[in-house]
Amino acid sequence: MKKILVTGGAGYIGSHTVVELAQAGFEPVIIDDFRNSKESVLSGLRDILGRDVPFHRIDCGDAEALRGVLRAEGNIEGVIHFAAFKAVGESVQKPLAYFRNNVGSLLTLLEVLPEFGVENLVFSSSCTVYGNPDALPVRETTPTKPASSPYGRTKQMCEDIIHDAAGAPGNRLHSILLRYFNPIGAHASARIGELPLGVPNNLIPFVTQTAAGLREKLTIFGNDYDTPDGTNIRDYIHVVDLAKAHIAAVQRLLDRTAPEVVETFNVGTGHGNTVLEVVQTFERATGQKVNYSIGPRRPGDVPAIYADATKVAEVLGFKTETSLADSLASAWKWQLSLAK
């Protein structure tokens, strides 16, 4: 089995991708320092896969520690780089931490990987690179505008760094940049899912925690946007669907079928839902009421964004399979499992 190093592999998207990698016949190797995840995720992965996944507790921004992992494992065929801070709102409050962690860890990878002959990289990017777009849906060719948050700026910077590195003499690294939209939901087993530390920064865990009585109420940030009901529009994709896009990306890199050394793909459903639509769909899908109120707009949020998913379908053969209602039902099943 070909080994794929997964940085941030105990995180939300990372852990689901580890499952899909293993089930597709790859050997995932996890790097994580549990800065934004929990060790219990490893137990969940063991329950799903029936075996332990190779794991190294390091900060992937630590070059010497990363070299130690690559020496120990040997024959790494590619890397999926998830390890990053990921909350728009938090990045406004802690911009320097976001730049240091998100940009710094990528620089370390790009410096160290060539030393070990690793030539394939899937990078976890984001729709935030588009800023506040002039037209929807956004395509990969949509011009990127100034990001609305430090988080978005880190993703723009990282994409630029990868392109610049690809143009350097002697470069052998081939990369695919996956621009995610909004991952939601959990694995069908309810053994892994979104597991925020402290107060959630993302919508869905706040919805499920409110429905479970762990939070008094959900605050919806603004209802005066130029959208059908005044609340933000986002493209919500089930996390397992998103994980499967990474398998297609890894395979494309290994097959060397790409005409360019860096390719970019949007990974979303191709349509958007307002925050209120998501809350109402959750209530219908689960039978649970969500106590919510309207608050002021949150710094860093754009009014609306959703994907044109044509390219990822045509080139990678990837299409989402899970409905919004089923995605939200899986998130609720995961929430209930946490109480056991």
By annotation, the residues acting in catalysis are 151
Which residues, including other chains, have CB under 8 Å from residue 125's CB and lie 6 or more apart?
155, 158, 159, 177, 178, 179, 180, 264
CB atoms within 10 A of CB 249: 28
Distance of alpha carbon 122 from alpha carbon 136, whole angstroms: 26
Q: Tokens 């990878």 correspond to what residue?
A: 109
Q: Please, how many CA atoms are within 13 Å of residue 11, restricted to the half-sphere of its CB?
A: 21
Residue with tokens 């929807």: 136
Single-letter code of the amino acid located at 282: F
The secondary structure of residue 204, as a DSSP letter, is H
Q: Which two tokens stand for residue 211?
A: 């429905």
The residues pairing with 183 across neighbouring beta strands, listed in sequence order, are 237
